[in-house]
Amino acid sequence: MNREIAKKIADELNITDEDFEKRKQFLQIEEEDIARIIKFRNTLKEIPGSMFDGFYNHLTAYEETRYFFKDDETIQKLKRKQMEYFEELLSGKYDREYLLSRLSVGYIHVRINIVPLWYIGAYNKYIEEIRNVIDKFKGIIDENKTMQSILKVINLDIILTLESYHYTKYKLQEELKKMIVTDELTGVFNRRKLEEVMQFEIERAIRNKKSLSMLMLDIDYFKKVNDEFGHNIGDQVLKELTELINKDLRETDYFIRVGGEEFVVFLPNTPLDIAKKIAERIRAKVEKHEFNIAGRITISIGATEYLKGDTRDTFFERSDKKLYEAKNSGRNTVCW
């Protein structure tokens, strides 16, 4: 079990020790249930490995699941895991470690593409096997009540596993979404995010009657950096530059790499006079910075404010025009 991952999931889902106790109470897992389970475990002596055969026969009966359990070595490894699971299930120790163990199962299921249908469907066979084992001890234990007690804990396990599964699935989907709109080199947004941001921020500025400014910036003579030092150093400059500029931006600002050495910064709730000051501060900061190996570089910036009647295209084109004015004015300057 990856304890740290499971702990993080518990923290994110806010499953505290107190909350875990409430879950057990809600499922009516009481001291007498725990006592029955411990008695059954002590009576059982040794967990029979054969009780897991039906479980995996069920899983391998379907073409879509057979792929995941296609060799005997994998099945034997999973049977050992099931033996460990069953040992924990019958331990009567439903504490923090037990919680983390069950949360870990949901995480693993997402990582290896085991869907809830297969997991829960196979449990029907698993429960049948447990009943068969319990029935061997008629007269020694109360088989019906013991089975009911075990089912309560199994329900707890299923709930925790599914919560962890859906949490992990959600996080992976969020990561994928982020990857789609994130520039792999610099970690800022990429061009795919540009239109979405423009549309959203223009509509919000109109709706709330707030200002919106845009900075378009470009590294001066960047080709010389690549030619003199190589593309690897050029990439390092781009990463160092984005880190440098990011420190001057607010959480509500958007920093987007639109291509090559060209970037856009959206400044919500920012009029042009403030945007000019931000642009000048960024320009001066870059000029003073000593880049690793490449030394000093400069940037040119075009600054514009959204005007009534602007479309995304006219807003962007005006910013682009101001950037070219800055470059044509000798570079290392801000135009608006």
| Residues 150-204: tens digit of each pLDDT | 999 999 999 999 999 999 998 888 877 777 888 989 999 999 889 889 999 999 9
| Residues 222-239: tens digit of each pLDDT | 999 999 999 999 999 999
- Hey, which bits of the chain come out as E strands? 212-219, 254-259, 262-268, 299-305, 334-335
d(CA 190, CA 263): 9
Q: 215 near 336, Cβ under 8 Å? A: no
Q: Between 190 and 46, whose confidence is greater?
A: 190
Reported CATH class of domain 3-179: mainly alpha
Topology of domain 192-335 in CATH is Alpha-Beta Plaits (3.30.70)
Q: Helices 143-180 and 96-111, interaxial angle, to 10°?
A: 50
User: Which sign, positive or negative, has the C-alpha torsion 66, 70, 76, 77?
Assistant: negative
| Residues 278-315: tens digit of each pLDDT | 999 999 999 999 999 999 999 999 999 999 999 999 99
**pTM of the prediction?**
0.61
Q: Return residue ranges of the chain for CATH 3.30.70.270.
A: 192-335
d(CA 316, CA 208): 21
By annotation, the residues acting in catalysis are: 261
Q: Return residue ranges of the chain for CATH 1.10.490.10.
A: 3-179
